[in-house]
Each structure stands twice: as C-alpha cells, then as structure tokens.
C-alpha cells in the first residue's frame, strides 16, 4: 500500500499564495499551543486591518487565547466539525464583518495536527443585507416603518412587559379615504397620506413608534407610564392635530379618523395584539370615539364568524326548518294565515336564535340563499296543506323579506318561481318588508313593490313605527298591511303613549285603506283591547308560539268554526 504523500512547509506556502482569500496554516504543538506555520500576504493584511486581538499572535507566532483559539481547539478535538465563526470588528459605519473557516490538512514530517484557517471579509455582503432589510422594513411612500417593522417593534416592546413597562398599540384609520382617490385621483391621495403621516409624528412623544400598516391605516406603539390614560391622551393628541383641514390643490379637506386601542399583556403574540387594535377601530367607527379593545366583544365577533361558517353548511345540508306562527282574525278568532319563521337547531350548540343568525346572514350575504329557501319552502308547505285537505284552504302564508334581498336579489322573480313551482295563486302569499328596505333605495323598492302587486301578492310593512320612512311612502307605495311592532303593543296596558301610538297607526291605516296586524300579543287583555280599537288581526304567544307544519295545520283546524 502506498503511503499518504507528505507536504512540506514550502508546499504550504505555495498553496496559500495560490488562494484568492486570506489564509494561514495552523498547527497544534505537543504542548497544546496553536502555531501559525505559514500564511499568505492577504492574511497579514486582514490581521493588520483588524482590531480584534483574537487574530493577534506573539513573537513565537502562536495564537493568543480567544474565541478563534477555542474554535480551532474544538475543531482539532472533533467537537466542532463545522469549523466556522462569524465576528464583527469595530463599531458603527467603520465596522468590518468576517467569517472564519477551518479545513483539515494532511500531516507533514511532524505528527502534529494541522488545519487551514481562511478569513473571508463579508463586510460588503452584510451591508447589502442590511440595506435590503432596511428597504423591506420601510414604507416607500411615507418613509415610515411598515407593517413588518411595526410587528418587530411590538415584539421588542413585549420583552419590557415583564419589567413592568406597559405598552399599548393604537391603530389609526383614515375615514372615507377612498372618496379622495375616487374624486381627486391617486396622486392627491398619496399627498394626503404623506401629510397625514407628518401630522401623526407631531402627536407622538419621544420613544413612541409610528408605522404605516396598511393603505390608509397607521399603527402607533406607545409606552404607558400612567396606564390606559396615556393611550387615550395619545388618541386625543392625534385627533387634535387632525382637527385643522388639509389643503389639497385648491380644496380644504377635513379628515376624520377612527382610533382603536389594544393593551399589551405579557407573552402576547404581536399579530394578535395588532388584530385586537384593528377590531377596536371598527368599534370606534361605529361609536365615533376612540375605543379600547374588549375581549368580550371580540369573542362575540368570533362567534358571529363561527355562526356564519356553520350557517353556510346548514343551508347547504338543508338543516334549517320553517315554523309557522298563527295570525288570528281578532274579530272572529279564526286563523287567517301563518307567518313563516326560520328556526335552526344546531347539532352541537342546540337552538340558535333568529335574532342571532339572521343578522349574521344579512352581514355575510347568506340572507339571499336563506330567503330563497324560505320562500320556496313556505309556498310548498301551504300547497301541501291544500293537497292533504283536498281543497284550497282559506289560508295565506307570510314570508319575511330582508332589505338586503330587496337591494341585491330578484325578489319578484323568486316569488314568481315559488308560485309556479307550488301552483299557488299570488293572493296566498304575503310578503313582509321592513321600512329599511324602502329607505335604502326608494326607487328600487317602488319597482319591487309594483312587481309584487302585479303577481297579486299581499305586501305588508313589518315593524311599522320603528324605522325612518316618511308617510309619503305609505301613500305612494302599494302597501296592503301595516304590522304594528310588538314594542308598542306590549306596553299598551301600562303606557298611555303606547296606546296613543297604536290608535294613531290604526287610524292611519284606515284612512289609507290598509289592514293592520298587531305583533307580540301575550295576554287576553291585549287581544281584547286591540280588537276593540279595530285592529284586524294579531299574533303572539297568547295564541300560539311558532309551530311545526303539521302542528300548525292542526291548530288551524281546532280554531275553525263549523
């Protein structure tokens, strides 16, 4: 077997001089010293430029104790096979950054272990990385830190929470900013954002952090020396600096902002804290004043989101049911019709109230799917009762229509489809709409009402008296029935004003040739009083709660007079 070729010191020097980087051959003597046995000129230059004493060697050309010496020792002993070390030399703009690498070398005549120590100057690379990172953390329009930088600032501040230095995050949202872009263009919008950011800076204290975290959204990290009071003071200063109008071109524009506050807690995730402040902004927009994040409100929001997800699944799987509440003719006591009401029993949560899932359906747009299902189901149920009885029953069914449906869906089309598929005539359906469906878009509401009347359906205004519609709508629109809201009906026996309102509604309906239905009748006294005042029909727990289809039909039979 051939022996491994041995390299001489001359070979080492020739090898080193051929390398394009600073390098030296290090040998560990029997006494454990680290000796520089050969080096190239670049290595000497690197050592001379460095103030790091770890690279120094004494007259015997032995490395002094230090981080590099420890690295080499561990490399020879096999405990550090990577053999790399990064270090910084100097401070500030004059700092240099080096990476030291070790590689094993074959032995020469002496049996001592050797290695190649190379020194790579990474200063240009590190500075480029820092420049790139600085660009990544900066908003190009305002020059402020961006969302990523703000999150890192929150992380750094979180370490101080444990030392009793509290912080809060404020999210400032410029209201109606999209109108500026739409009416004056993006350049004017950018100018406004820059000016807005400058004013925000004027509202901050030393040590506060301001960042642009979204299109027209800014984040502020403030330290709290006096608790939440400091956060409100910061919000107050922001509102003060925004009070003066902004000048864009020849226009003066007043800019309002919503301000949400979230208080930092120990160990809190920065993104969670920021989302809390964003949630508080939504509350602030609704309230018109700065709001502090309340966990209870967020819990409710998460529940609404969860309900939306579950409701979507329930609609797809046909898990909702329609119940029917009797509408009683107050003069004869017979059932005149039924109001169809959606009910949802969740397999895990149990019964979920309509007052909870209907607003979620409207907010999410699911009300369109829900409304179409309810219309078709109610018509099919009434047609099924006719088939079972073998005759056309003297009954109608009322179906509620949301203002969202009136604004976004083809309501006359879906009613016509339900009538055709069930074989019912239009007079068997009553469509109940709220005043809000009229106020949002009176012109569209008029077209929808006219189209529904063309189908011979009955149109009822639900919850009358609780909205904002004018009497002109009652005169102009083809409304057949006014439904008196239960808030007025339930107070009739104790509140003279409630009685006066009900009398006024009944008189108005009579003058306009409309019928009336009272909601929320829960006692015989209310039923008798309303009948005496001339109310045509009523519904409420005094008569019956909403019933399943078979029970509803049976209830009609029990109240029918021979």
CATH of residue 47's domain is 3.30.450.20
Measured over all CA atoms, what is the biggest interatomic distance in the chain, rounded to whole angstroms?
126
Instruction: Give CA torsion, residues 239, 242, 245, 246, to 10 deg.
Output: -160
Distance CA 38, CA 12 (A): 7
Which structure tokens are listed for 89?
Answer: 């030399």
354 and 270, same structural domain? no
- Looking at residue 50, its pLDDT comes to 59
Asked if 108 and 8 touch (Cβ cutoff 8 Å), the reply is yes
Helix axes 442-454, 411-422, angle to 10 degrees: 20
For the chain, which residues score pLDDT lower than 50? 1-7, 52-54, 59, 162, 562
377 and 513, same structural domain? yes
Determine the structural domain holding residue 71 and report its residue range. Answer: 9-127
Half-sphere exposure of 510 (CA within 13 A, CB side): 10
Query: Which residue among 72, 94, 127 closes a domain?
Result: 127
- Looking at residue 68, its pLDDT comes to 75
402 and 492, same structural domain? yes
409 and 264, same structural domain? no
Half-sphere exposure of 31 (CA within 13 A, CB side): 4
Domain-embedded: residue 226? yes
C-alpha closest to that of 147 among 279, 289, 273: 273
Instruction: Encode 299-326 in three state secondary structure.
Output: HHHHHHHHHHHHHHHHHHCCCCEEEEEE
Distance CA 32, CA 38 (A): 18
Count how many residues are written for the chain.
562
- Looking at residue 53, its pLDDT comes to 44
222 strand-pairing partners? 168
58 and 170, same structural domain? no
- Looking at residue 2, its pLDDT comes to 42
Q: CB atoms < 10 A from the CB of 473, how many?
A: 18
Domain-embedded: residue 560? no
* Tens-place pLDDT, residues 391-420: 999 999 999 999 899 999 999 999 999 999
Which structure tokens are listed for 463?
Answer: 């919850």
Distance CA 298, CA 275 (A): 10
Distance CA 232, CA 290 (A): 8
Query: Which residue among 103, 127, 151 closes a domain?
Result: 127
Domain-embedded: residue 3? no
Distance CA 342, CA 383 (A): 18
- Looking at residue 480, its pLDDT comes to 94
- Looking at residue 64, its pLDDT comes to 61
160 and 288, same structural domain? yes
223 and 151, same structural domain? yes
pTM of the shown model: 0.60
Domain-embedded: residue 166? yes
CATH of residue 418's domain is 3.20.20.450
Sign of CA dihedral 484, 490, 491, 494: positive
Domain-embedded: residue 1? no
207 and 346, same structural domain? no
Domain-embedded: residue 2? no
Instruction: Encode 206-253 in three state secondary structure.
Output: CCCEEEECCCCEEEEEEEECCCHHHHHHHHHHHHHHCCCCEEECCEEE
How far is the CA of 515 from the CAs of 438, 456, 459, in angstroms?
Answer: 19, 16, 11
Sheet bearing 84-89, strands edge to edge: 34-39, 22-28, 114-121, 96-105, 84-89
How far is the CA of 544 from the CAs of 24, 262, 299, 536, in angstroms?
Answer: 97, 48, 35, 17
Asked if 100 and 68 touch (Cβ cutoff 8 Å), the reply is yes
CATH of residue 194's domain is 3.30.70.270
Which structure tokens are listed for 496?
Answer: 């003279």
26 and 62, same structural domain? yes
Domain-embedded: residue 134? no
Antiparallel, parallel or unpaired: β 217-224 and 246-248 = unpaired
Which structure tokens are listed for 478?
Answer: 């083809």
C-alpha closest to that of 98 among 35, 41, 141, 55: 55
Domain-embedded: residue 538? yes
Distance CA 559, CA 334 (A): 5
Domains identified in the chain, total number:
3
377 and 492, same structural domain? yes
Query: Which residue among 252, 267, 293 closes a domain?
Result: 293
381 and 262, same structural domain? no
Asked if 230 and 223 touch (Cβ cutoff 8 Å), the reply is yes
* Tens-place pLDDT, residues 27-44: 888 788 888 888 888 887
Which structure tokens are listed for 536?
Answer: 């045509």
537 and 467, same structural domain? yes
């Amino acid at each position: 077997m051939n022996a491994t070729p041995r390299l001489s010191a001359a070979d080492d020097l020739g090898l080193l001089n051929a390398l394009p980087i600073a390098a030296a051959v290090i040998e560990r003597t029997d006494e454990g010293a680290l000796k520089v046995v050969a080096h190239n000129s670049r290595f000497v230059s690197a050592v001379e430029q460095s103030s790091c004493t770890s690279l120094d060697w004494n007259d015997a050309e032995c490395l002094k104790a230090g981080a590099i010496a420890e690295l080499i020792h561990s490399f020879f002993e096999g405990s550090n096979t990577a053999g790399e070390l990064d270090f910084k030399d100097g401070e500030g703009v004059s700092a240099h950054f080096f990476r030291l690498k070790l590689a094993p070398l074959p032995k020469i005549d002496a049996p001592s272990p050797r290695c190649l120590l190379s020194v790579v100057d990474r200063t240009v690379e590190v500075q480029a990385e820092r420049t790139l990172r600085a660009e990544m953390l900066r908003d190009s329009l305002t020059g402020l830190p961006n969302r990523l930088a703000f999150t890192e600032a929150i992380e750094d501040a979180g370490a101080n929470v444990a030392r009793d230095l509290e912080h809060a995050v404020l999210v400032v949202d410029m209201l109606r900013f999209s109108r500026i872009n739409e009416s004056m263009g993006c350049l004017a919008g950018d100018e406004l954002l820059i000016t807005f950011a400058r004013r925000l800076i004027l509202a901050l204290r030393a040590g506060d952090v301001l960042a642009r975290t979204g299109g027209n959204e800014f984040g502020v990290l403030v330290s709290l020396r006096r608790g939440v009071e400091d956060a409100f003071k910061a919000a107050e200063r922001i509102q003060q600096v925004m009070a003066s109008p902004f000048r864009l071109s020849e226009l003066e524009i007043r800019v309002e902002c919503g301000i949400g506050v979230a208080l930092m807690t120990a160990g809190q995730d920065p993104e969670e804290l920021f989302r809390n402040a964003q949630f508080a902004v939504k509350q602030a927009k609704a309230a018109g004043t700065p709001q502090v994040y309340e966990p209870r409100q967020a819990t409710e929001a998460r529940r609404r989101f969860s309900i939306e997800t579950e409701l979507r699944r329930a609609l797809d799987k046909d898990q909702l049911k329609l119940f029917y509440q009797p509408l009683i003719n107050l003069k004869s006591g017979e059932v005149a019709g039924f109001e169809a009401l959606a009910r949802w029993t969740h397999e895990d949560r149990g019964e979920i109230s309509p007052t909870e899932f209907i607003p979620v359906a409207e907010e999410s747009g699911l009300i369109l799917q829900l409304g179409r299902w309810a219309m078709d189901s109610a018509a099919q149920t009434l047609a099924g009762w006719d088939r079972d009885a073998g005759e056309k029953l003297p009954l109608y069914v009322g179906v509620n229509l949301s203002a969202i449906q009136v604004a976004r869906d083809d309501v006359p089309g879906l009613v016509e489809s339900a009538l055709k598929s069930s074989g019912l005539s239009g007079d068997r359906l009553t469509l109940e709409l709220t005043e809000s469906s009229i106020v949002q878009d009176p012109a569209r509401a008029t077209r929808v009402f006219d189209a529904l009347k063309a189908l011979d359906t009955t149109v009822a205004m639900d919850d009358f008296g609780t909205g904002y519609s004018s009497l002109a709508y009652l005169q102009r629109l083809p409304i057949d029935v006014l439904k008196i809201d239960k808030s007025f009906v339930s107070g009739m026996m104790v509140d003279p004003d409630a009685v006066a309102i009900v009398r006024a509604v009944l008189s108005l309906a009579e003058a306009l040739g409309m019928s009336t239905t009272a909601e929320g009748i829960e006692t015989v006294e209310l039923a008798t009083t309303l009948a005496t005042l001339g109310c045509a029909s009523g519904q409420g727990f005094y008569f019956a709660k909403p019933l399943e289809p078979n029970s509803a039909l049976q209830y009609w039979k029990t109240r029918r007079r021979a």
